Amino acid sequence: MGHCFSKDKSDGSDSEQAVEFVGGNVHRVTSKEDWDQKLSEAKRDGKIVIANFSATWCGPCRMLAPFYCELSEKHPSLMFLLIDVDELTMGSK
């Protein structure tokens, strides 16, 4: 399984910060197409989807990231998705 971190990287790159929210069995959704594909996969495989709408600048989101990652590892029968609300705004409006 992967690792899940929520600490800032020193160079401050947004893409690197967002990647740190992903680990374990968490799938990062970066487009509407990704979203649709993951939902189709979940439906096909009979999995329940847990979606985490988050942001790299959000303190509470950073605190929850490791726990979300742990949950994804403990419950592989569920599909855990991570959507950065600054990167993909389709679900936050």
| 58 labelled catalytic | yes
- Distance between CA 64 and CA 72 in Å, rounded? 12
Q: Which residue, among 53, 40, 42, 49, has the nearest Cα to 88 in the 3D structure? A: 53
Spot the catalytic one: 26, 61, 81, 83. Answer: 61
- Distance between CA 41 and CA 83 in Å, rounded? 17
Spot the catalytic one: 19, 39, 58, 88. Answer: 58
| 61 labelled catalytic | yes
Q: CA quadruple 79, 71, 89, 16: dihedral positive or negative?
A: negative
Which residues are part of the catalytic machinery? 58, 61
